[in-house]
């Protein structure tokens, strides 16, 4: 077994950078290893217009550590009032790479999301016409649907109808957590699915057995072990429809360790070491580059990165338990095992 692996520099196709002090603190954790990332627009208030996306991109670039080479790929937050021509202009100018659909109330900062899907049909049709991908948080929000079933029900009740009424719309099922998500992604054209780092590691027992673990709580919530195994099989299969979207989602410890804790796992710091560990366990180290560095650019129609990173296997990797921010500490995802793959950026 080779102890050294060189990959094209990876990209992250689903990332939360936040804003202000939090942005400043978490950005280097991503830009150290990743060349590009699809930046989630769920700020408060959300990034809804092209002008807001341009201003947010400039704040990200201003916060970038000197010497880090990182390109934020911006998105717009779809609301029932989104103007199709603003979306088309933001796409034509190269400003945005995707539009993000949150069902209203599904997750962190999603209050302005979509409740009536008929109201966004015009935007979706415009996106299909110009080839702009739609990224989806795929969970229904109906009270009567069990939280562990919300992804599967979303596929039947929302995603499949959208795809039938808007043929040709390029769609990304983000952070899939179920075998239902894997199966649906495999059944369709013009459809891809991102998989997070943490959903390859944890199932729902990790959140709940032996005391509640707020740092393992995210949305969509981790499911049964059989679903985790389906995600691991999909991620390591070499199938080009599956690629990395870490969904690294920082919240302060005060906001996580609370009577009403926020959803989100912060994985930017140790993602590449964790993924190498998983792919090695699955006998698929030769497919890691596809998942982290090749399949995403292919779907988004972008070139792969010219530069590379090298992973070497050795003594346990050391990384901080927490990242300090001016808003308070943010706990780094604990994969529950030593990691042995060290990441080196090649100049
Ligand atoms: N994944 C999460 O649990 N949280 C994300 C929102 C999201 O991606 O749904 C966040 O913004 O904190
Ligand atoms: Zn989401
Ligand atoms: Zn997210």
Peptide bond connecting 45 to the previous residue in cis, omega within 30 degrees of 0:
yes
100 is in an annotated binding site: yes
Largest CA distance in the chain: 55
pLDDT at 114: 95
Which residues neighbour ligand 2 (ion) by CB within 5 Å? 107, 137
Summarize pLDDT for 123-152 with one digit per residue, the tens: 999 999 999 999 999 999 999 999 999 999
CA distance 161 to 99: 18
Bridge partner list, 314: none
Measuring CA to CA, which residue among 179, 260, 175, 180 is closest to residue 220?
A: 175
What lies within 8 Å, CB to CB, of 127 at 6+ separation is 87, 99, 133, 134, 166, 169, 170
pLDDT at 107: 87
Is the pLDDT at 8 greater than 90? The verdict is yes
334 is in an annotated binding site: no
Peptide bond connecting 323 to the previous residue in cis, omega within 30 degrees of 0:
no
Summarize pLDDT for 283-341 with one digit per residue, the tens: 999 999 999 999 999 999 999 999 999 999 999 999 999 999 999 999 999 999 999 99
Percent of the chain residues topping a pLDDT of 70: 99
Distance from the CA of 261 to the center of ligand 3, in angstroms?
16
pLDDT at 128: 98
Is the pLDDT at 273 greater than 80? The verdict is yes
Distance from the CA of 202 to the center of ligand 2, in angstroms?
17
Domain count, the chain: 1
Read off the pLDDT band of 5 (50, 70, 90): very high
- 217-229 residues labelled b (16+ CB within 10 A) or e (exposed): bbbbbbbeeebbe
Ligand 1 pocket member 18 (CB < 6 A): no
Is the pLDDT at 26 greater than 70? The verdict is yes
> What average pLDDT does this structure show over 202-225?
98
pLDDT at 108: 85
Which residues participate in catalysis according to the annotation? 247
Ligand 1 pocket member 17 (CB < 6 A): no
Is the pLDDT at 246 greater than 70? The verdict is yes
CATH number of the domain that 291 lies in? 3.20.20.140
What lies within 8 Å, CB to CB, of 305 at 6+ separation is 8, 9, 10, 11, 35, 36, 293, 297
pLDDT at 159: 97
Q: For ligand 1, pick from 264, 267, 268 the residue to mutate: most ligand atoms within 8 Å of CB.
A: 264
Summarize pLDDT for 30-87 with one digit per residue, the tens: 999 999 999 999 999 999 999 999 999 999 999 999 999 999 999 999 999 999 999 9
Average pLDDT for the chain: 97
Asked whether the whole model's pTM tops 0.90, one would answer yes
CA-nearest residue, atom 11 of ligand 1 = 108
pLDDT at 2: 56
pLDDT at 346: 85
Ligand 1 pocket member 16 (CB < 6 A): yes
Is the pLDDT at 153 greater than 60? The verdict is yes
Q: For ligand 1, pick from 77, 139, 247 the residue to mutate: most ligand atoms within 8 Å of CB.
A: 247
Ligand 1 pocket member 245 (CB < 6 A): no
Ligand 1 pocket member 218 (CB < 6 A): yes
Distance from the CA of 196 to the center of ligand 1, in angstroms?
11
Summarize pLDDT for 179-210 with one digit per residue, the tens: 999 999 999 999 999 999 999 999 999 999 99
Q: Whole domain around residue 336: which residue ranges? A: 4-345
Ligand 1 pocket member 135 (CB < 6 A): no
Tokens in use for 139? 């969970």
Read off the pLDDT band of 218 (50, 70, 90): very high
> What average pLDDT does this structure show over 163-172?
96
pLDDT at 76: 98
Distance from the CA of 41 to the center of ligand 2, in angstroms?
11
Phi-psi region of 190 (alpha: psi -120 to 50; beta: other; left: phi over 0): left
- β 330-331/322-323 pair status: antiparallel
Ligand 1 nearest atom to the CA of residue 263, by list position:
3
342 is in an annotated binding site: no
Could you tell me if the ipTM is greater than 0.90? yes
Ligand 1 pocket member 15 (CB < 6 A): no
CA distance 234 to 182: 7
Read off the pLDDT band of 1 (50, 70, 90): low
Distance from the CA of 107 to the center of ligand 2, in angstroms?
6
């Amino acid at each position: 077994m080779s102890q050294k692996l060189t990959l094209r520099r990876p990209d992250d196709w689903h990332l939360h950078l936040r804003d202000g002090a939090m942005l400043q603190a978490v950005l280097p954790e991503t830009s150290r290893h990743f060349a590009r990332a699809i930046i989630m627009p769920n700020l408060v208030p959300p990034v809804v217009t092209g002008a807001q996306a341009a201003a947010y991109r400039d704040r990200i670039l201003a916060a970038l550590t000197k010497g880090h080479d990182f390109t934020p790929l911006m998105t717009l937050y779809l609301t029932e009032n989104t103007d199709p021509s603003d979306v088309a202009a933001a796409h034509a100018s190269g400003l945005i790479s995707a539009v993000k659909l949150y069902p209203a109330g599904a997750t962190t900062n999603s209050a302005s999301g979509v409740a009536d899907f008929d109201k966004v049909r015009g935007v979706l049709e415009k996106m299909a016409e110009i080839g702009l991908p739609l990224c989806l948080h795929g969970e229904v929000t109906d009270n009567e649907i069990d939280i562990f079933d919300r992804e599967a029900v979303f596929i039947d009740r929302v995603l499949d109808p959208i795809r039938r009424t808007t043929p040709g719309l390029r769609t990304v099922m983000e952070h899939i957590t179920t075998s239902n998500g894997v199966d649906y992604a495999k059944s369709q054209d013009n459809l891809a699915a991102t998989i997070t780092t943490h959903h390859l590691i944890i199932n729902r027992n990790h959140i709940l057995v032996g005391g509640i673990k707020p740092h393992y709580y995210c949305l969509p919530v981790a499911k049964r072990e059989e679903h985790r195994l389906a995600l691991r099989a999909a991620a390591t299969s070499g199938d080009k429809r599956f690629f990395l979207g870490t969904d690294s989602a920082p919240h302060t410890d005060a906001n996580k360790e609370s009577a009403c804790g926020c959803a989100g796992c912060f994985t930017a710091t140790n993602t590449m070491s964790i993924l190498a560990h998983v792919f090695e366990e699955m006998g698929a180290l030769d497919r890691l580059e596809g998942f982290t560095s090749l399949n995403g650019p292919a779907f988004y129609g972008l070139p792969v990165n010219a530069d590379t990173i090298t992973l070497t296997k050795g003594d346990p990797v050391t990384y901080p338990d927490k990242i300090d921010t001016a808003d308070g500490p943010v706990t780094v995802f604990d994969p529950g095992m030593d990691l042995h793959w060290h990441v080196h950026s090649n100049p």
